[in-house]
Amino acid sequence: MIKEINLLGVFLPPLFGHLALAALIWLILRFLLRITGTYRFVMHPPLFNLALYVILVSALLATTF
């Protein structure tokens, strides 16, 4: 059974933990993509970043359920 996350007395849904972990991984990936120069091949970087974040969240959700 999935339980809520207790954060200083505030109960948060389990999705919040997945979103936070995906954001951390996303920030690391953005840093690595910027260093390697991959963004030169991306036509619309903000849309690419959004798609990358959605893919990470869905991958985390798929591996936990």
Residue 1 above 80 pLDDT?
A: no
Q: Where are the beta strands (DSSP E) in 1-65?
A: 5-7, 10-12
- Residue 3 has, within 13 A of its CA and on its CB side, a CA count of 4
pLDDT, residue 32, reads: 95
> pLDDT value at position 2?
66
| pLDDT for the residue 3 | 79
pLDDT digits (tens, 9 = 90+) for 36-53: 999 999 999 999 999 999
pLDDT, averaged across the chain: 90
Q: By three-state DSSP, how is residue 3 classified?
A: coil
